[in-house]
Structure 1
Amino acid sequence: MPDHKRNQNEGQDREQRQGRRRVPRSGWAAQAGVFLVVAFLAAGLCGAIQPATGIPPEVLQLTQFGPALAVAAVALLWPGRIRERLAGTLPARSEGPADHETRLPSGNRAALLLTAALITALSADGALLTSGSLPVTSPQALAHPLALLVAAQLIGACAEEIGWRCYLQPLLRIRFGPVTASVLVGTAWGLWHVPALTQEPAYAAGFLTATIAMSVVLGLALERVRSNRLLLAGGFHTLVNLGMLFVTDETSPATAPMAVFGAACLAAALPWIASARRAATTPDRITAATADGPR
């Protein structure tokens, strides 16, 4: 083949490859905008109709289904993109080597769930230090069966996380790094909780700190994970909510408990950030082994 034709074909192949890489980036802002608008509006609508349904808010808040409805709306507008955005939401179908590489290692799964317990423990310790007492709710004191509350909390958490961590986080990762994307998702997640932001500024700041910090934990823990993202994120979310319900007092409108909760979430996120920074600056084994090799 003549050189000029070979160069022309190589240039065309290069342009096609670059075009394929640019395709996923196109329209990410529009998709994110539609998702957020529908998530906010759907949450408000669900909250408005909840009294008519007879579902007790302490069992399940219908506002939690706003992000799931937003994902459905985006799927209608961009049906060709929704599959790649939600990749990894559910368990992988096959057991090939690639699937094992994209699952969260068992140690990281345990670390993620233990982080939720750590947030509860730090919040409880903070409550003891600031108020001298620890509000503990006995399951027997609840108006509804414990099993029902746990199941409802998991359903509500998954309804949120299919939007925040399974759709919006991968979408923003097209444009931003893992920490930046997680901070943006956490900010949107916090602002989406409109009632919390109507409290005192210190309360709202503590709540927003908590959502951003927890979003960073989830974003870093689920980075490159392509299997069971929904159950992992929903499980973490559920454990934190149950901790707030039974051990701490962050569900009250008092400012101090929410400030303690935000600080606890931030402290729990710091090891994840430090670990991600170490991983980013540490060369992989192949690179390290060949760095000083013969040239």
Structure 2
Amino acid sequence: MSNGYGQASAIPRPRIGAKAAVFVGVAFVAAGALGAVQTGTPVPAEVLQLTQFGPALGVAAVALLWPRATRHLLGTTLSTPERPRGRGVLLLATAPLIVALCALSYALLTGGVRSLRPDAPDNPFAVIVVAQFIGACGEEIGWRCLFQPLLRTRCGPLASSVVVGLVWGVWHVPVLAQIPAYAAAFLLATVSLSVVLGSALERMRGGSRLLFAGGFHTLINLGLLLFMDEESGAVLPMVLFSLACLAAAAVWALGTKPPAGSVR
């Protein structure tokens, strides 16, 4: 029996509505609650944002209700598996290329380069790197290791990536309170990044998906911290970032052929 990933499986194609609703609902509510909790803790947002663990709690909720299906989704490949090294290296290399493209574009348009020395933040940069990776994995175990495989049982890599990217973007609720141009650019960035991740991770197993997705997410966050000021609410940096992400997504989407037998 085909499981929708192009693999044989004893588990039938699941009904995804309830699982998706539980995951998304818990991810949103938990993120809000964790954000409120952080204000009463000494954990600086520069180092780690507790909201990033909302999707991980969403995974935990789904696992409590559907343990067997959750293990399957977290451990499966989305199509015919292959060694992750080549795609993983390309994925990790894409992150600094995106940051470089938007930073250079910003410099050409404004005549200045925004650069922050690694020793400039108030906290040790090594601590920030480790914490950023942990936080990124807290997000990606939900978005790319559970939600994407769940949607892939019903639609192809591009469609599932776009849906994940939209939900991921809306999940960043405070961003939507910014002016429309900023919010729209941010959503374009999350959808584009999701397409990059969905294309790159398509043939990786669960553990590799989490490590490479977390690594890519971390490199993007660190690159923006050091070279861009999009979190200030300024529209131009966010627009340039979203366009750089869109360019990367186009390259990945065009360069990734759907494997035979996969859902399209």
TM-score (norm 2): 0.91
Change (3 A) 1:124 1:80: same
How far 1:129 sits from its partner (Å)? 2.2
**Percentage identity across aligned positions?**
55
CA distance, structure 1, for counterparts of residue 221 and residue 178 of structure 2? 19
How far 1:130 sits from its partner (Å)? 2.3
Query: In the alignment, what sits opposite 1:121?
Result: 100
Query: In the alignment, what sits opposite 1:73?
Result: 61
Q: Which amino acid aligns with 1:249?
A: D
Q: Which amino acid aligns with 1:230?
A: L
DSSP 3-state at the match of 2:68:
coil
Farther off after superposition, 45-54 or 159-168: 45-54
Query: In the alignment, what sits opposite 2:16?
Result: 28
How far 1:27 sits from its partner (Å)? 2.1
Query: In the alignment, what sits opposite 1:207?
Result: 186
DSSP 3-state at the match of 1:52:
coil
- Preserved CA contact (<8 Å) 1:138 1:246: yes
1:240 correspondence with 2:220: yes
**Selected match of 2:253 from 268, 273, 281:** 273
**Selected match of 2:170 from 177, 191, 198:** 191
CA distance, structure 2, for counterparts of residue 62 and residue 262 of structure 1? 24
CA distance, structure 1, for counterparts of residue 34 and residue 178 of structure 2? 21
Query: In the alignment, what sits opposite 1:261?
Result: 241
Unmatched segments (≥5 aa) in structure 1: 1-16, 90-98, 284-295
1:37 correspondence with 2:22: no
Q: Which amino acid aligns with 1:103?
A: R
CA distance, structure 1, for counterparts of residue 27 and residue 176 of structure 2? 17
Query: In the alignment, what sits opposite 1:182?
Result: 161
- Preserved CA contact (<8 Å) 1:88 1:229: no
CA distance, structure 2, for counterparts of residue 220 and residue 187 of structure 1? 16
Aligned length: 253
Q: Which amino acid aligns with 1:111?
A: L
How far 1:280 sits from its partner (Å)? 4.1
Change (3 A) 1:24 1:47: farther
How far 1:18 sits from its partner (Å)? 8.1
Structure possessing the higher relative contact order (Cα contacts under 8 Å, 6 or more residues apart):
2
Q: Which amino acid aligns with 1:56?
A: P
How far 1:174 sits from its partner (Å)? 0.1
Query: In the alignment, what sits opposite 1:95?
Result: none
**Selected match of 1:134 from 113, 118, 136:** 113
CA distance, structure 2, for counterparts of residue 280 and residue 156 of structure 1? 31
Question: Which ranges of 4 or more aligned residues in structure 1 deviate by more than 4 Å?
Answer: 17-23
CA distance, structure 1, for counterparts of residue 153 and residue 200 of structure 2? 17
Deviation string for 1:132-189 (max 9, x for gaps)?
Answer: 2111111221100011000010000000000000010100000010000000000010
How far 1:22 sits from its partner (Å)? 9.8
Query: In the alignment, what sits opposite 2:198?
Result: 219
CA distance, structure 1, for counterparts of residue 110 and residue 172 of structure 2? 26
Query: In the alignment, what sits opposite 1:61?
Result: 49
CA distance, structure 2, for counterparts of residue 141 and residue 220 of structure 1? 35
Q: Which amino acid aligns with 1:125?
A: L
CA RMSD after TM alignment: 2.1
**Selected match of 1:231 from 211, 216, 229:** 211
Q: Which has the larger radius of gyration?
A: 1
DSSP 3-state at the match of 2:204:
coil
